Structure 1
């Protein structure tokens, strides 16, 4: 399979990963469409509430989707990602559910030094493998509406919300009007609560590729072995 773009994600595994994937309607690990759970109290059909994050699956972005620079292959990217992960140890984080800017998401209570180190290493040490942004890709980020620091990151690293602007999050909805987003959070909270009562383990990162239909799918799971 050929891929237009690649990214480095964290894909939660276990019961939390299964539930998040089923809720969004796409399992990036298996490349399958799982049965969605029946959840009471939703303000609309789950398909309409999750149409945007569905194509990416239940994930947190560590290095945002990018095209490979000329002369580099996905094997180069995998090998370089392994070299980064060989020096970084597994860790865990406590999650809470939030509703921010109309998006329902899971976020860490605190971004640990281990998480920060992982994101920074992946963003900076793989960037020579990234092709420059196409003009249309840059325009899609609406750089004129970004703060100065985010605009500089977009131009330097291909994505605005990296390094000092990085916030780990597992998106669970489209951007929604506030009342609708709150209703989704209220409906999802008791379903996810048992699975986020214990810390989530971060033991690997996922090299994913964008298929012709725009969906992201796992290419290789790369363990943290530091």
Structure 2
């Protein structure tokens, strides 16, 4: 069983609904979603190119997937998440936009957000004691030749190369897209998401995602609101 600490809007948020339809699966319920009918893109093309992010569900990673270290229980992790989220206030995110990340597409902030980067680093550091060390098999699956020195150090210290100073917040929308198809996908994704992205997002919770067994789809286990208990009651 693996866990991940992510951000995702609430189940009823218009962005969650639109992204779940695009990916073809709702990470809250686990149910398949009917793919949207989009001009210039066939349903089979959407299904094929969203297969990878569909399994992970719509989210922005803060603490990448990890197994619990021996002696730590899920209940202990949940208690610590409740304590941790009480120390931080919600973050007003910059406008999100459709971006290319190599040969993939994602939603990402239009400008850097220091508060978001600080929170992500704090999550990685705080919960690293809950993470079991990577196995030899897991390390062998990483293409270390493509990593920078900093990314290689992160892999061995925190179990993932793209954390701390190498972190860039994003919410993945596709797997690898062929070079010839990139312009068409970019145009479609902007047309589909930009009306929804007019509404600014607030990072108001940490979401615990869970993978019940290797290869199983990740599901939202629970949402943990940011802010002190007293502030939550006032809100």
Tell me which interval the TM-score lies in, with the shorter structure as reference length.
Answer: over 0.9
2:6: which partner in 1?
9
Deviates more, 1:53-62 or 1:210-219: 210-219
Could you report, residue by residue, the CA deviation over 1:130-155 in whole angstroms, capped at 9, with x for unpaired residues? 00001121122212321110010000
TM-score under structure 1 normalisation?
0.94
1:74: which partner in 2?
74
The 8 Å contact of residues 39 and 188 in structure 1, kept in 2 or not, is answered as no
Aligned residue pairs total 223
Unaligned runs of 5+ in 1: none
Could you report, residue by residue, the CA deviation over 1:103-161 in whole angstroms, capped at 9, with x for unpaired residues? 11111012322211210111000101100001121122212321110010000000000
1:177 Cα shift? 2.1
Change over 3 Å in CA distance of 1:25–1:126 after alignment to 2: same
TM-score under structure 2 normalisation?
0.91
Q: 1:35-50 residue pairs with structure 2 within 5 A? A: 35-42=34-41, 45-50=45-50
The 8 Å contact of residues 25 and 57 in structure 1, kept in 2 or not, is answered as no
SS in structure 1 at match of 2:68: coil
2:177: which partner in 1?
176
Measure the CA separation in 1 of the matches of 2:129 and 2:101. Answer: 33
Match among 214, 218, 221 for residue 220 of structure 2: 218
2:148: which partner in 1?
147
Change over 3 Å in CA distance of 1:79–1:111 after alignment to 2: farther
SS in structure 1 at match of 2:222: strand
Moved beyond 6 Å, runs of 4+: none
Measure the CA separation in 2 of the matches of 1:90 and 1:97. Answer: 23
CA RMSD of aligned residues (A): 1.4
The 8 Å contact of residues 95 and 108 in structure 1, kept in 2 or not, is answered as yes
Measure the CA separation in 2 of the matches of 1:56 and 1:181. Answer: 22
Measure the CA separation in 2 of the matches of 1:140 and 1:40. Answer: 38
1:56 Cα shift? 0.4
Could you report, residue by residue, the CA deviation over 1:145-204 in whole angstroms, capped at 9, with x for unpaired residues? 211100100000000000101000011111112221221111121111111112112110
